[in-house]
Amino acid sequence: MSERSEVRVRLAGAGDVEVLPVIEAAAGERFRTIPGLELVADHDPSLPPDVLSRALAEGRVWVAEARDELVGYALALDLDGQPHLEQVSVLPEWSGRGVGRELIDAVASWAKGRASSVTLATYRDVPWNGPLYAHLGWSVLPEEEVAADPRLLAVRAEEADHGLDPDARVFMRLRV
């Protein structure tokens, strides 16, 4: 059995909640290797309880299980009808094994029938961000399209409020 076939993605439940920040914190440690992005590793990985409880109730949080442990998770948002991949985190020891792809596929399946695409905001040049998403079929949104969409501008403003440099970030789209 391959490692990828060992991974099972399912909707998250209340019993999974305490592990999500642990996964995100561990995954965020990779950013310490990129000068200037230590703040990503230093941020509080806890999701606001109201955001998390609503996402769980609406079926917008998925977890990846392998060997009876959670190894990754994804959180999607509904930006007034636009599915948006807010977070994908995978434990470092499971990185590069298709876990993130399985989680992204779950989000894409959820988005079908809701819209023609899923969006995300990510670092343009971090190897496991923009370049990886491009490899998986995502395309960069033109700036004029981002500037004309108040939903994406709100995401950009919130990210900037958390210290993320908008010039280093890019919005991407995956057609579903």
Banded pLDDT at 5 (limits 50, 70, 90): low
Rounded (5°) CA angle 174-166-23: 65
DSSP code per residue over 4-40: HHH-EEEE--GGGGGGHHHHHHHHHGGGGGSTT-HHH
pLDDT at res. 2: 44
Mean pLDDT of 48-61: 91
Residues in the chain: 176
Do the bridges between strand 117-123 and strand 82-90 make them parallel or antiparallel, or are there none, so unpaired?
parallel
Whether residue 69 contacts residue 11, with contact meaning beta carbons closer than 8 Å, is answered with no
Q: Residue 63: CB partners within 8 Å, gap ≥ 6?
A: 9, 10, 11, 12, 16, 19, 20, 70, 72, 73
pTM: 0.92
- Dist. CA 148–CA 30, nearest whole Å: 33
- Dist. CA 155–CA 98, nearest whole Å: 27
The pLDDT tens digits of the residues spanning 134-158 come to: 999 999 999 999 999 999 999 999 9
The pLDDT tens digits of the residues spanning 97-135 come to: 999 999 999 999 999 989 999 999 999 999 999 999 999
Question: Can you give the residue ranges of every domain in the chain?
Answer: 3-175
pLDDT at res. 1: 38
Q: What percent of the chain has pLDDT over 90?
A: 85
Class of domain 3-175: alpha beta
Residue 54 has pLDDT above 70, yes or no: yes
**SS3 label, residue 115:** strand
Q: What percent of the chain has pLDDT over 70?
A: 97
- Dist. CA 127–CA 129, nearest whole Å: 5
